[in-house]
Structure 1
Amino acid sequence: MLLRFHVVNPVILNYFLRIDCGLTGKTTETYNNQSWFPDSYFIDPGKTMQISSSANVPQFMTTLRYFPNAEGKNCYRLPLTNTQKFIFRAGFYYGNYDGKSQPPVFDLSLGGQLWATVNSFATDVPVFHELVYAPRNDNISVCLMGRKEYGTATPFISSLEATYLNEDETDNHTVYGMMRNGTAYHLVARLNFGGYDQVIEPWSGWADTCEEKLNRYWTPQSMSGYTNLTFLPTSCYGTTYENRPPNSVINTAISPTNASQSIYVPVNLPTSTPQSAYIVLYFYQNRIIDGPPENLNATRNMDVYIDGIMRRNVKLEGFTSGEVVTLYPVLFQGTVNVTISPGNGTVLPPLLNGMEVFYGTELAEETSGGVKISSYVIVVAVCQLFVSLLFGLF
């Protein structure tokens, strides 16, 4: 359902900011109980375009703003209310709006730092770029600029979001607690293993509070050669874990057919230079629905390996047992192999419910004249020690 309300000035809530780029006028759009502001409040240059609706494309992605002056800095100013961690997400749906059937390639930046090079490839599939970052001030810019090597490519954007991550540390509610201020963490993958549907925040005033509440998109990931498990739902059990995984994620998993086998998950990351990864693994067990019964009184003992180096041991004991494992910093270059292997004496096979992977880039100190960019990748002070002691890491 889509409703529209006229507003004099946008009221920016502490927890989220959603912008429908290309929405004309000064009318706030309410889509499935979420308020989306027209982008005319936040930017002046550019032109707007309406695209035909599609069953697989959300309503707020069917308008866009494009920038004929590709060489200029076409910037949105986001008036945030604090400088804590936010999820920033930019959406792009080309939809062949210009009739050229040539999706453009251009740069997207956040606070003066290169965020991503946007290449939407197909004309009919939305593309999202997401990162987690704690801005240094409460008025941050998101800019689009063409790339000279691609000639006259015209930048465009369909949606822009900023979601505040409340860092309440009571009852294990820490959200990405190892992410450092001053570093931008670019999302590579957020996977729901064993699931069949995308998991997003329920857009309803009567939403189940056990589901996604941080505006994250979890992609279903079934893997050949493994069994998909679905567990009996347990009320809000995921909210007691770090990062607050939704029930729909922890209640599905993949597992090998017997206790002697491992789970192998390859992850493709940028290959140009060594970088630092932030990896989160979600483990949870309960009674299985429509599957072989398991003796959950026995211990499920699992060893977590990154490129063949053991990084953590996980033990799940009894019903409704779970653990969240965060690995950071982890050096990598290119494809990374995550392996979940059976630990000593385990009776039950390993499992994996969910995974998030980010890579980090550091932002230089902001100055009164703007933002001076540092293009070097993260190499933490203990990097040399990690390499020498744990040879073979990412």
Structure 2
Amino acid sequence: MEKLVAVLLLVSAVGAHAASFPFILNYVLLIDCGLTGKTTEHYNNQIWFPDSFFIDPGKTKQITSSPNVPQIMTTLRYFPHGEHMNCYRLQLSNTQKYIFRAGFYYGNYDGKSQPPVFDLFLGGQLWETVNSSASTEGPVFHELVYAPKNDNISVCLMGRKESGGTPFISSLEATYLNEDETHNHTVYGMMRNGTAYHLVARLNFGGHDEVVEPWSGLADLCEERLNRYWTPQPMPGHKNLSFDATACSGSAYENRPPNSVINTAISPANASQSIYVPVNFPTTTPQSAYIVLYFYQNRIVDGPPENQSGTRNMDVYIDGVMRRNVKLEGLISGDVVTLYPVLVQGTVNVTISPANGTVLPPLLNGMEVYYATELAEEASSSNGVFKISCSVIVVWVCQLIVSVFLGF
């Protein structure tokens, strides 16, 4: 009886604050597009919502699962009337920076073997032209960081006349970049409101071949907390370094890089060599880039003790132009370098070179690269933009809390 009373009190409290939904848990909204019914789904210890709460048009389809395809990508919503704007309406609890990510897995759901090309919009402005055949083995993702001007925003899909394909979507995510989650350190502090920053690459150097995925559950508070995915980047001819896993190494730095990223790095064979990383932008037209470089050193696991606490003095170059000097001194030392705006065109070369006075060779732990576009966002409207009701929230929370209490 005491447990039941506690459950009812908690449900009542959540219902009273339902306006802040869906960012109750970890400030993340996760939508599994095409998931049938009104029940939530659990994947990777996260709660995903069916997209029927957020959109009316379209039809749903189930795809045969594959080892390379996550569970949430095996359903999709497609829009036979692709000539119209088909929109998801999201109500946000704060007009600060968010990571928006949309996923697409064709999986030959229509039996035509013709992956379509169509347009994706955010806030009434073109976000990306989606080429669903860009990845033959797995999903295609498009991601950007943006601070909406209003408390609601639309994510829409529309066909292209020249291609005639039917638009579809498999997943949709919005993550609030809460400053409190990063111990009051800045989160992409140079990103301006009103500008969309499209992800080009988010790389983990020196790590294993596995993608560093978002933090889930309570397993490790030092891992990815901002719902980002870090792709491993092999660098032939470089040493792979692994450092002692000091508790939450990355939490002291801007953007809170996870332990799995900050505790690995690449380095050339000797102190006189440089690190070269080419970055391919999607178009050859001049663009404004936002580049973040992560540097960190600690005691090297299974490494020789000599010179481990020496100085790494490094110069950062973009296309041959020196942009910043980075100096790591002592056994435990780190820095995050943000370069913005950087005018780029086509392929850009990032170079980390030894500077005067260095003892140890240069290193690089992680890198994020974005390009910037301006959005003239649609006007705010509170009428009919958010379908999910308070009763649905209460039912979901009740299910969650009851399952937790019954497990005690």
Deviation of 1:225 (Å): 1.3
Structure 2 CA distance for partners of 1:344 and 1:159, relative to 1, 3 Å: same
Structure 2 CA distance for partners of 1:368 and 1:252, relative to 1, 3 Å: closer
Deviation of 1:295 (Å): 0.9
Conserved? CA contact 2:266–2:365, under 8 Å: yes
1:125 equivalent to 2:138? Answer yes
- Secondary structure of 2:56's aligned partner: coil
Distance 1:346 1:278 in 2: 27
Structure 2 CA distance for partners of 1:170 and 1:124, relative to 1, 3 Å: closer
For 1:256, the equivalent position in structure 2 comes to 268
User: Could you list the per-position Cα deviations for residues 4-62 of structure 1 after superposition, in whole angstroms to 9, with x for gaps in the alignment?
Assistant: xxxx9994125111100000111111223211110001001100001111222211111
For 1:363, the equivalent position in structure 2 comes to 375
Distance 1:326 1:291 in 2: 30
Distance 2:259 2:207 in 1: 11
Higher helix share: 2
Unaligned 5+ segments in structure 2 are 1-14, 382-408
User: Could you list the per-position Cα deviations for residues 81-107 of structure 1 after superposition, in whole angstroms to 9, with x for gaps in the alignment?
Assistant: 111100000001111111112111111
Distance 1:211 1:367 in 2: 37
- Specify which of 198, 215, 223 is matched with residue 211 of structure 2: 198
Deviation of 1:367 (Å): 4.3
For 1:150, the equivalent position in structure 2 comes to 163
Percent identity between matched residues is: 80
Quick one: which amino acid aligns to residue 139 of structure 1?
N
Quick one: which amino acid aligns to residue 125 of structure 2?
Q
Decide which moves more: 238-247 or 311-320.
311-320
User: Could you list the per-position Cα deviations for residues 299-328 of structure 1 after superposition, in whole angstroms to 9, with x for gaps in the alignment?
Assistant: 110000011111100011111211000000
Distance 2:112 2:214 in 1: 35
For 2:22, the equivalent position in structure 1 comes to 12
- Specify which of 74, 80, 83 is matched with residue 95 of structure 2: 83
For 2:228, the equivalent position in structure 1 comes to 216
For 2:348, the equivalent position in structure 1 comes to 336
1:243 equivalent to 2:243? Answer no
Conserved? CA contact 2:213–2:229, under 8 Å: yes
* Bigger relative contact order (CA 8 A; separation at least 6): 2
Structure 2 CA distance for partners of 1:295 and 1:98, relative to 1, 3 Å: same
Conserved? CA contact 2:213–2:230, under 8 Å: yes
User: Could you list the per-position Cα deviations for residues 174-211 of structure 1 after superposition, in whole angstroms to 9, with x for gaps in the alignment?
Assistant: 100000000000000000001121101133x2220100
Decide which moves more: 130-139 or 194-203.
194-203
Quick one: which amino acid aligns to residue 114 of structure 2?
Q
Q: RMSD over aligned Cα, in angstroms?
A: 1.9
Structure 2 CA distance for partners of 1:56 and 1:270, relative to 1, 3 Å: closer
TM-score normalized by the length of structure 1: 0.88
Decide which moves more: 333-342 or 118-127.
118-127
TM-score normalized by the length of structure 2: 0.85
Structure 2 CA distance for partners of 1:53 and 1:43, relative to 1, 3 Å: same
For 1:391, the equivalent position in structure 2 comes to none
Equivalent residues in 2 for 1:1-394 (5 A)?
Answer: 11-13=21-23, 15-121=27-133, 122-151=135-164, 153-168=165-180, 173-196=185-208, 197-203=210-216, 205-364=217-376, 366-367=378-379
Conserved? CA contact 1:342–1:350, under 8 Å: yes
Distance 2:283 2:170 in 1: 28
Runs ≥4 in structure 1, deviation > 6 angstroms?
none
Distance 2:347 2:305 in 1: 36
- Secondary structure of 2:162's aligned partner: helix
Distance 1:233 1:320 in 2: 11
Conserved? CA contact 1:172–1:241, under 8 Å: no
Distance 2:137 2:357 in 1: 50
Unaligned 5+ segments in structure 1 are 1-7, 370-394
Deviation of 1:170 (Å): 7.9
Distance 2:338 2:44 in 1: 33
User: Could you list the per-position Cα deviations for residues 205-249 of structure 1 after superposition, in whole angstroms to 9, with x for gaps in the alignment?
Assistant: 222010000000000011111111111111001001000000000
Deviation of 1:294 (Å): 4.6
Pairs aligned (count): 360
Deviation of 1:169 (Å): 9.8
Distance 1:170 1:71 in 2: 43
Conserved? CA contact 2:35–2:50, under 8 Å: yes
Conserved? CA contact 2:212–2:230, under 8 Å: yes
Structure 2 CA distance for partners of 1:219 and 1:294, relative to 1, 3 Å: farther
Conserved? CA contact 2:124–2:377, under 8 Å: no
Distance 1:339 1:267 in 2: 11
User: Could you list the per-position Cα deviations for residues 141-177 of structure 1 after superposition, in whole angstroms to 9, with x for gaps in the alignment?
Assistant: 00011111112x0111000000000134985611000
